[in-house]
Amino acid sequence: MKKTHIKNGTIFSLALAVFVVSVLGSFDSVFAQNGGQNLTAVVLVPPTDVAIAKRLSSQQEVQISGMNNVLMNSTIAGENPKKLLEQQAVAIAKVRKEMMKSLAKTDPRKFLNLILSEQKRSQLSPAVQALIEKKTQITGKLEVLHIDDFAEHKNSRFEYSLNVDGKKYSVLSPIEFSGRSNGTVTLAGYMLDNLVMLDGGDESIIPIATQGIEALGEQRMLVLITEMQGETSPVSIYEVNQAVFATSSPFQTYFKEQSYNEMWFTGAVHKIELARSVGEGCGSGVSLMDSDVLSAIQAQDIDLADYDRVLFVPPVGYCSGVGKWDNTINNVTYSLSESWVSWHSFRYLIDNNLLSQILPHEIGHGLGVWHANFLDCSSGECVHNEYGNYFDVMGGSEVGDFNALYKEQLGWLTPTDFMEITTTGNYSINSLESFTGAKAAKIVNPLIGSSSVLYLEKREQIRTYGNEPTSIVVAQRNKLLLNMPQRPSDIQNSDVWLIDMKPGIPGAGQYTDRENVSLGQGEQYSLPSYGLTVGPVSLETSTSTNFDIDLYTPVCSSVAPMVNNQSQFLKTSVGTWGYISLSLYNQDSLSCSPST
């Protein structure tokens, strides 16, 4: 069996076709060699059993499976199938198509389990084939939208689409992946109408060209207060204009300070009225390419060429594209980011002259960065938390600073702003907010290489822009915070995880434990798998923090891979193929040598 190399600390996407040879079930093993460690994913295909099918299969899945059988049994030897049978097959295929499109959105894996193979598809008439998903490889520009739910983080999600010469396809996947808008990619999977389902394989997403971030200098933003049928905005054009564009507004102050005066916003605020009710989905169901939105913009003689970004202020909703994407209108292409922040958030900002997290968080997505994650080790096992960095506006903070890695991606920090640490010694860094000196450090163990880079920073101020800082934020003042890029081999396109440097404090809950992730005076933290000890911290002041770094030969730490949706049961019949997809995150340390 072919071995696939996976670098440590990376994600491996596995698409597995399993042939059932016995009613007792069968095993298949897939070996993934990881620059250091071979991972083995063992997949059990359980027996076809009515009880299991009832327990694991939805009614929709069963119905589609039945339709597959009917369609395949409708084929007749010879070149001229009976007309009645053809009509019946087309009617069934139409119903199946709509059910498959619905299933794709709720359970991509079941969709993949129910596809008809190319061999089976070729046996159907052309009229029926036109209604059946087909294997595809398609190249275009990726568009990434993130929908935030700040009350229930588990409800937050990414939505993807592919722009191919102005035609957009909805992109779904059985595995998680991240990307930035307007990057050119080739996708492999199955197409059904304007839907593309990735096959989950190792080459289901092939980057062709990445999109750079444009976050320096003047950012021209069009703000559209959006009123809908029966809904009147509680915020006026003047109020929103002052909140966003006034020189001394908390919003402008925040981004000028974050960028060290390298970025600021200009623009205009308009109000548009739409003759429809508030819709579901992102930002009340409103987007720039909606015909009524374009009509309202044109009616006010708004020239989109005058702007780099669009911010909708609708009745409800918080979401944003991750970076800019192309919009072609009357044969003219405009590269714009789109973000949505509700009336309520602006009302809060205006009434209290405070800056809540929501507005800068969504604009941060629009600039091109993802969430500030946390590697929570309070339970003894490290668990990823998407919004877990409480000290970063892109995590669970109110309005904390962007972390050093994101500031580097945005162009606000340059190489001269970092202290490069590659040897054992005593070091000192200034605060991340400082305008002079080393604002953060990059630690690289030369025994591993550049893929071991970690970002060390400290916060001097707890900048809350009018809000009262929480104890969890105050506790980190002038202490060291350690961040790990998730994709160290591609720093400019990586999100970041804050490392818990004081894991598993006895009796501490998940929230309380995060008050203790940083290092203060006299404290140290060791990461043997990186060959790194940070500390002890010898001096902790408002201007700088002094600490020791010890770099040594890393210790190989072999850990079971983190498997996404490993409990994948598959209903199949003897002598048929089934489809299983997994994503494996290799948690072995970078120093591990190959093994089986």
pLDDT, one tens digit per residue, over 494-509 is 899 999 888 765 444 4
| Residue 218: pLDDT over 50 | yes
Q: Tell me which residue has tokens 């444009």.
A: 214
Q: Give the closest residue to 266 by CA, choosing from 309, 322, 230, 214.
A: 309
| pLDDT of amino acid 512 | 52
**Burial (0-12, 13-18, 19+ Cβ within 10 Å), 419:** middle
More confident residue, 379 or 318: 318
- How far does the chain reach from its first CA to its final CA, in angstroms? 13
Is the pTM higher than 0.85?
Answer: no
406-455 confidence digits (pLDDT tens): 999 999 999 999 999 999 999 999 999 889 899 999 999 998 877 789 99
Look at strands 11-19 and 372-376 and give their pairing.
unpaired
| pLDDT of amino acid 25 | 29
| pLDDT of amino acid 48 | 36
| pLDDT of amino acid 484 | 93
More confident residue, 508 or 224: 224
Q: What is the mean pLDDT of the chain?
A: 80
Half-sphere exposure of 511 (CA within 13 A, CB side): 6
**Burial (0-12, 13-18, 19+ Cβ within 10 Å), 302:** middle
Confidence of residue 254 (pLDDT cuts 50, 70, 90): very high
As given in the structure block, the two tokens for residue 194 are 């304007």
Bridge-partner residues for 41, per DSSP?
30
Q: Tell me which residue has tokens 């394989």.
A: 201
pLDDT winner (highest mean) among 113-122, 374-383, 511-520: 113-122
Which residues 6+ apart lie within 8 Å of 546 measured at CB? 426, 427, 428, 537, 538, 539, 540
Q: Cβ(136)–Cβ(83) under 8 Å?
A: no
Look at strands 318-321 and 325-329 and give their pairing.
unpaired
121-139 confidence digits (pLDDT tens): 998 889 999 999 999 999 9
For the chain, percent of residues with pLDDT exceeding 90: 44
What is the helix (H) or strand (E) element at residue 227, kind and residue range? strand 217-228
> What is the DSSP-derived secondary structure letter of residue 519?
B
Q: Cβ(439)–Cβ(431) under 8 Å?
A: yes
More confident residue, 120 or 466: 120
Q: Return the HEC string of 146-164.
A: EECCCCCHHHCEEEEEEEE
| pLDDT of amino acid 552 | 94
| Rounded Cα distance, 470 and 472, in Å | 5
More confident residue, 385 or 172: 172
Bridge-partner residues for 419, per DSSP?
441
Q: Give the closest residue to 176 by CA, choosing from 204, 140, 211, 139.
A: 204
More confident residue, 322 or 211: 322
More confident residue, 573 or 50: 573
1-55 confidence digits (pLDDT tens): 344 444 454 444 443 433 333 222 222 222 222 333 322 222 223 333 333 333 4
How many other CB atoms sit within 10 Å of the CB of residue 336? 20
| Rounded Cα distance, 405 and 6, in Å | 24
Q: Give the closest residue to 473 by CA, choosing from 462, 457, 458.
A: 462
Q: Give the closest residue to 314 by CA, choosing from 354, 285, 348.
A: 285
| Low-confidence winner among 73-77, 254-258, 271-275 (lowest mean pLDDT) | 73-77
| pLDDT of amino acid 188 | 93
Query: Cα–Cα distances in Å, from 448 out to 295, 440, 492, 590?
Result: 57, 21, 20, 7
**Helices marked H in 107-207:** 108-113, 118-122, 126-129
299-348 confidence digits (pLDDT tens): 999 999 999 999 999 999 899 999 999 999 988 999 999 999 999 889 98
Query: Cα–Cα distances in Å, from 159 out to 13, 137, 449?
Result: 19, 20, 35
Burial 179-195, CB ≥16 within 10 A → b, else e:
bbbbbbbebbbbbbeeb
In 263-348, DSSP assigns E strands to: 263-274, 309-313, 318-321, 325-329, 332-341
As given in the structure block, the two tokens for residue 7 are 């670098």
Which residues 6+ apart lie within 8 Å of 298 measured at CB? none
| Residue 357: pLDDT over 60 | yes
Average pLDDT over residues 259-281: 93
Q: Tell me which residue has tokens 């971030």.
A: 213
| pLDDT of amino acid 466 | 58
Q: Tell me which residue has tokens 């908390």.
A: 250
pLDDT winner (highest mean) among 296-310, 536-550, 576-590: 296-310
